[in-house]
Structure formats: C-alpha cells, structure tokens
Amino acid sequence: MSWIGINDTKRLPSFHPSGLTASGSAPALDDTVLMRGTVLLEAEVQDYRAEPQTLLSYWLWDEGGRELLVRIERNGTLLLKVMQGDTITAVGLPLPVMEMQTRIRVSYSWDVPARIASLTVENLDTHKTCHKVFPDPVPFAVADAARAVLGIGTEWPAVQENTTLLAFSDAFEPVTCGDGMAGNALVATEFGPRPISSLRKGDLVRVGEGGLAPVRAIVAREVPNAGWFAPVTLLRPLFDLKEDLTCAPELSVVFSGSEAEYLFGAGSVLIPARSLRNMGTSRRVSSASVVRYYQILLDIPQTVQVNGAAVRTLDAGELVGRPALRATTPLAGVSEAAIVGHSHAQAVTLSTFETQTLLAALTS
C-alpha cells in the first residue's frame, strides 16, 4: 500500500486505511499504529521571523494525549513534535533563510522496526534540500491520521493557514526526484520512440543533437495527485510537441534559440512546466488520487526528446556527497559514482514572468 489520506484544501479530503486506490467503503477506524509511514506537507512560507509559522497542529488529549506538530520557529528551525502518551519525539531541523511565499515540502517518515526516521524539507523554488536522520521515532495511529486529514474529532482543524497539502502514507516514502513525467511519454532511443516506463538501465537514449547516452537508472515515484505534485499537460504543438505531454510541474522543457540568447544571455534555458500553467498552453489533469512519475538518470543532466519536445533529464546534483539523503530518495540503490557528474551541472531556469516574456517574444 502507499498513500492513505490527502487533504489539499481545494477539494473534499479523502482517507482510506487500505489505500486511496482501494475499492469499497473504508472500514471503521481503530487505534492501529502505523509502524511505518510518512506525513507530507506543502506550504508557503510566511514571515516566521516575526511570529512562528505553524504548518500542522493535531492534538487529542484522550487516552493519555496525542500530538503531531510541525512549526517553523522564529530562528528558522523547523520543529517536529510527535507524542503518543508519555512517548515523545521532538526534532529540530535548521533551515536557511527563506523569503516570503517560498514553496516548501516537508516529509516526516518513520520505520519503527528499523528504529529510524527522517525529516526532510525541500525548497521547491531553489531546489535545495535540508535533511536529518534520527533514531527511535514515535509512530502515528491510523485513526489520528484520519482525524488530521478529514478535520474531525478535534476542536480545531490540524491543517493550518498557508498549508496547501497534507498527505499520509503507510510506507517510508522517498523524497526529492519529483520532476518526472507520465509513463506513456515517448522518449527517443536508438530504436525509435519508447514509453519511458519501458526503459531500463543500459538502454541508449538520444541526447542533444542526436548522440546516444546510456540510461543509468529509471526513477519511478508514486505521489499524491494534489498540491504541487498535481500533473499538468503541455499541449502540442508547444515547443515542437507532437503529442500532449503529461508531467510533474517541476519537469523542465529545454528551449534553445536566438530568443534565449537575446533575452537571457544563454544559448538554452529551462522552463518548468508549472510556469506554463494558466497561459493557454497547459491544463491540469484531474483523475486518480495518486500519480506515478518517471524520470531518466544519465551520467550528467542532458536533453532528451520526449513526444518531440526537448526535456531535461534528472539533475541529481543536490544528492552528490550526501549519502544519508540519497538513501531516502528513489536513487537509494544508485552509487555515488553514478551521479558524481551531476555536481557541476548548471542551467538557467526561467521564472514564470520570464517564461511569459519568452512566449510573448515567440508569438510577436
């Protein structure tokens, strides 16, 4: 199983202890403990230096007391507190200074039998990640997860203002590597276009101007179809697409041309799919509760042709030299040697405003 509860504040929350893809009505909830699990939050950072910013606050004082608190303190430390009766986990994770409206994703994952947990904060605007591993985590009960997601059984809702997504999983979910595409995306290979979901390590894909590069790994990750994970579909013929491309908001299309050189001083630029929302060039896909994304790991980040458009492969530079963080990602089984070439990868990534400027220049 995997994701069991989602509240993205924009639609009715959903919870099913057997998984959101399970059929039939949910069984009655009990106090079964999630021995493994993940709580995931997305939020926009406010002025935490003036007043601490609470992202999630769940508490229930019945049966000895239960609490789950996630808060950014005034000194920039992210505080996680989990309480089950007399057992408490309290962990602080120092964060770099963040500007107002910065988008962050917080993941707390635990494995009680393995006596290990991790706390991760991803800055979705800078693509920088803070991470801490710690021992002896306090687990969370299924019923408490349901109350937090559904907003029932407590005096105050757990999800706080400026928190845009709360999700629970019954698995130790991986973090980072969230810039993939749908499994039916067609990647140019030595034998012609193939669905990305069918590619395997060692397959040769066409890169750049037509050369071949071996696939080091295919990254697959199942995430909530909500919040900043929710896919967008880029519509043909945008950027030479021959077929519509459904992808994660963080997937980058590569644009090369004189306009990029003139406007941004670079021969090529990266355009995140999220920057193309609401511009008449993409639409949000709304279907299942969860979505599976795929990405390609090469020796270095490169450009591949996907459905006819130039797309950036996975950039794992943030994981180089950080084995503890890499162990909690979809690249846990990949060696340091396979990603060391990513450490110096550089590219110009356009903001939404810059993307608008480029599109205006292309259509004028």
Q: Regarding the domain delimited by 186-362, which CATH topology (the fold level of the hierarchy) does it fall under? A: Endonuclease - Pi-scei; Chain A, domain 1 (2.170.16)
Average pLDDT over residues 336-363: 89
Above 90 in pLDDT, residue 53? yes
- Pick 85 or 364 by higher pLDDT: 85
Which sequence spans correspond to the domains of the chain? 3-169, 186-362
Q: Which two tokens stand for residue 29?
A: 């909830």
| 46, 81, 83 from 8: Cα distances, Å | 18, 22, 24
pLDDT tens by residue, 113-153: 999 999 999 999 989 999 999 999 998 899 999 999 998 87
Lowest mean pLDDT among 23-27, 69-73, 105-109, 289-293: 23-27
CA distances from 66 to 13, 36, 81, 95 (A): 21, 17, 10, 26
Confidence of residue 24 (pLDDT cuts 50, 70, 90): low
Whether the predicted pLDDT of 1 surpasses 80: no
Q: What is the pLDDT of residue 316?
A: 95
Whole-number pLDDT of residue 26 = 63
pLDDT at 313 over 70: yes
* Distance from the Cα of residue 345 to its chain's centroid: 21
**pLDDT at site 23:** 64
- pLDDT of 25 reads 60
* Architecture in CATH for domain 3-169: Sandwich (2.60)
Q: What is the pLDDT of residue 193?
A: 98
The residues, any chain, with a CB within 8 Å of residue 238's CB and separated by 6 or more, are 276, 281, 282, 309
For residue 63, the model assigns a pLDDT of 65
Q: What is the distance between the alpha carbons of residues 359 and 364, in angstroms, rounded to a whole number?
A: 9
pLDDT value of residue 114:
97
Q: 3-class SS at 340?
A: helix
Average pLDDT of the chain to the nearest whole number: 91
Cα gap 150→145, rounded to integer Å: 8
The alpha carbon torsion through 140, 324, 336, 267 (nearest 10 deg) reads 80
How does residue 271 score in pLDDT terms, banded at 50, 70 and 90? very high
Q: Which of the four pLDDT bands, split at 50, 70 and 90, describes residue 284?
A: confident
pLDDT in the model for residue 311: 98
Structure-token match 């008449």, residue found: 280
* In the predicted structure, residue 158 carries a pLDDT above the cut 70: yes
pLDDT computed for residue 286 by the predictor:
63
Helices (H) and strands (E) in the chain, counts: 4, 26
Tokens at 200, concatenated: 């395997």
- For residue range 298-312, what is the model confidence (pLDDT) as tens digits? 999 999 999 999 999
In total, the chain counts a number of residues equal to: 364
Answer yes or no: is pLDDT of 184 > 90.
Answer: yes
The DSSP letter of residue 28 is: P
- The pTM (predicted TM-score) of the whole model is 0.92
pLDDT score recorded for residue 99: 85
**Beta-carbon contacts of residue 334 (< 8 Å; ≥ 6 apart):** 216, 217, 297, 326
Q: What is the pLDDT of residues 56-98, one digit of tens each?
A: 999 987 767 889 999 999 999 999 999 988 899 999 999 998 8
Res. 9: pLDDT tops 80? no
pLDDT at 219 over 80: yes
- Per-residue pLDDT reduced to its tens digit, 27-42: 666 678 999 999 999 9
* pLDDT > 70? residue 253: yes
Whether the pLDDT of residue 273 is over 70: the answer is yes
* Residue 344 burial (CB count, 10 A): 9
Which whole number is the average pLDDT over 281-285?
Answer: 73
